[in-house]
A and B are shown apart, each in its own frame.
Chain A
Amino acid sequence: MAEENESGIVNQGKVFISGQHMISALGFSIGDHVDSFNCGKSGISKENYSFDSYWVGKISDEKLHAERKFHKIPRAFSRLEALSAISILTLRGMVKENLSLQSIPVFLASTKGNIDAIPHHGAASKEHIHLSHSAQRLKSFLSLQHDVTVVCNACTSGLQAIILAARLIQANHITEAIVCGVDVLSEFTLRGFSCLQAMAKVPCQPFDEARNGISLGEGCATIYLSNNSSDAIAQIVGMGVSNDANHISGPSRTGSGLIQAIRSAVDLDSIHIDYINAHGTATKYNDEMEAQAFNALNLQHIPLNSMKGYWGHTLGAAGVLETIAATIAMQQETIWKSLGYENHGVSRPLAVTDTSVKRKISHCLKTSSGFGGSNACLMLKNCAS
């Protein structure tokens, strides 16, 4: 039911993305990102840590410092809290008629928060380790009325936070929401993925024959969702979440969970998907699982890419960051090269883009999968088409 009022067109039961902002190794603005996508430039570089060196997508310390000053972020704020606050404040300035933040529900997606704040040899009751503490800090700094709800569901956290907010808007429990996905590089996660033998020795190569693991990255991405279609960039027309119920740290071999999530989000007989923005972490098992799922659904001919080659695997931020990348692809009518892909390396066919292609995108499928057997997906519709 559409209804026009002085502030635009309210569509009860519909959910629109009408503002977005992103920070990654590629920069602090959407423009920075588009430039890098167009040049096929990766933000992944080799960083030396006291315990080892890794290929990672690291956010510039200098730029972050400048942004902290500009937005008057409190000194006590951690890297993760500062990024979240900067991104939310920048988004507010971008959305028409400046959003009044106070009454908007904010959902934060993150896997590990300030985990490196665990003190050495300490029993660690330090408050600021906890995501609940970061949520409280953001609430008070941004003068929010509601508590910030944190979605902590491994690598699907970002998409699940969008889905949580979108379902609430769809059911008319709320009319607008801000969803922020954020994770930072930490010794904890670097050592963790390293001990699982999951870290690549070169920048990650999703879907490639030579792929041998992930490149971790850090990122912070924020979107504004509402039931108001004015200034809408994309509409969320389908969403699904499922669990493999198979293994806690490995994906299902058949892709059954991802298949279920996609089926629950989209009626494939009635919607033609023009582009798949896949999870594509570049581990052997993840990419193979996705190939199985997309083939089972007969989606192997649809142009597909993974954005991980540009900024690495940003964990809790990935779903939000890559949803924004998907909407920019729609706006720019470009499916960018799947960076790191040269030789097909999964056992089933997939239309991975080895070069950037221009094309009109009406519908885009965004997927994520993660530890704990989670799968999530969004069906996005271009509001310009």
Chain B
Amino acid sequence: MRTIVNSDIFELVDFGVAGGESLNQRLKSAYRDLDIKYPKFYKMDTFCKVGFLTMEHLMIKAPVSFDPAKTGIFLVNQYSSIDTDLAFHRSYSLHEESLASPGLFVYTLPNILIGELAIRHKITGEHGFFILSDFQSDFIYLYVKSLLDSNVLDAAILGTCEVFQDEVLCAMKLVSSASVLDESLSFDLSKFKEWIKKSPQGR
């Protein structure tokens, strides 16, 4: 199992779990390495922890200096919030008398990650979480492009986050209408899996 954090399209931070370390331990130590104080991190589910850490790395490299109301967050994946869905399902189905966990239920939507990122970075613009069959959608790319072109947004964070079985991956990128548009926007969500596979540290 390994987690890859990509804060810029050319750089990957490998979150590979080594030497019997659990994913949770690995995420905690990655959080400590960041040297920030954000106790809410410990309350998050694995999915949001992974997304939160990725965003922190992205913000170090490319801090958002845009109008928060004109900054958006757009994330895609294939398996929604399945890891936490299964945990919540276990909370009420494992034993006859077991009680459903409200703390887990609130994390059983993938856009909760967008909410966590919005709170942490005070981003309030248009956003959305989309589920794609094969990470392939020109529509999401064209949608974000139209928001930037029409000045609804000045900047957008695009990315994917997936926590499913032994797949734990997350990648994000900041695009803005102020940057050289074509190159910046050529970041293609459908290429995620491909370049993660190709990278020397990739799966």
Chain A contact residues, CB within 8 Å of chain B: 51, 105, 107, 111-113, 115, 118, 120-121, 123-125, 129-133, 135-136, 139, 146-154, 160, 164, 167-168, 170-171, 173-174, 188, 191-196, 240-249, 257, 260, 264, 371-374
Assess whether B86 is in contact with A147, with CB atoms less than 8 Å apart: no
In Å, the complex CA distance between A247 and B40 comes to 11
A248 in contact with B131 given A149-B139, A188-B89 (CB within 8 Å) = no
Q: How many residues of B are in contact with the other chain, CB < 8 A?
A: 57
Assess whether B88 is in contact with A130, with CB atoms less than 8 Å apart: no
- B111 in the interface (beta carbon within 8 A): yes
A147 in contact with B137 given A154-B109, A242-B69 (CB within 8 Å) = yes
User: What are 5 A-B interface contacts by the 8 Å CB criterion?
Assistant: A115-B85, A130-B82, A191-B105, A192-B102, A243-B115
The SS class assigned to the B binding surface is mixed
Selected contact of A372 from candidates B93, B101, B114, B136, CB within 8 Å:
B114
The 8 A-B pairs with the shortest beta carbon distances in the complex, nearest first, are A171-B146, A372-B115, A150-B131, A195-B100, A192-B105, A241-B126, A245-B118, A372-B111
Query: What residues of chain B lie closer than 8 Å to A152, measured between beta carbons?
Result: 80, 109-111, 129-131
Selected contact of A243 from candidates B101, B124, B147, CB within 8 Å:
B124
Assess whether A245 is in contact with B119, with CB atoms less than 8 Å apart: yes
Assess whether B124 is in contact with A196, with CB atoms less than 8 Å apart: no
A132 in contact with B100 given A192-B105, A374-B111 (CB within 8 Å) = no
- B18 in the interface (beta carbon within 8 A): no
Q: Which residue of B lies closest to A130 (CB)?
A: B79
Q: Which residue of B lies closest to A136 (CB)?
A: B133
Q: Chain A nearest CB: distance from B148 CB in Å? A: 10
In Å, the complex CA distance between A116 and B18 comes to 35
Assess whether B124 is in contact with A260, with CB atoms less than 8 Å apart: yes
Q: Chain A nearest CB: distance from B163 CB in Å? A: 13
Residues 42-89 (chain B) with a chain A CB within 8 angstroms = 68-69, 73, 78-80, 82, 85-86, 88-89
**Interface digits, B123-142 against A, CB 8 Å rule (1 contact, 0 not)?**
11111111111101101101
Assess whether B100 is in contact with A194, with CB atoms less than 8 Å apart: yes
Task: List 15 additional A-B contacts (Cβ < 8 Å) besides A192-B102, A371-B112.
Answer: A118-B86, A131-B131, A132-B133, A152-B129, A164-B139, A164-B143, A168-B142, A171-B145, A171-B150, A243-B125, A247-B115, A264-B69, A372-B109, A372-B115, A374-B114
Query: What residues of chain A lie closer than 8 Å to B130, measured between beta carbons?
Result: 149-152
Q: Chain B nearest CB: distance from A51 CB in Å? A: 8
In Å, the complex CA distance between A129 and B126 comes to 28
In Å, the complex CA distance between A318 and B6 comes to 36
- B116 in the interface (beta carbon within 8 A): yes
Assess whether B112 is in contact with A131, with CB atoms less than 8 Å apart: no
Q: Chain B nearest CB: distance from A257 CB in Å? A: 7
Assess whether A371 is in contact with B111, with CB atoms less than 8 Å apart: yes
Query: What residues of chain B lie closer than 8 Å to A131, measured between beta carbons?
Result: 80, 131
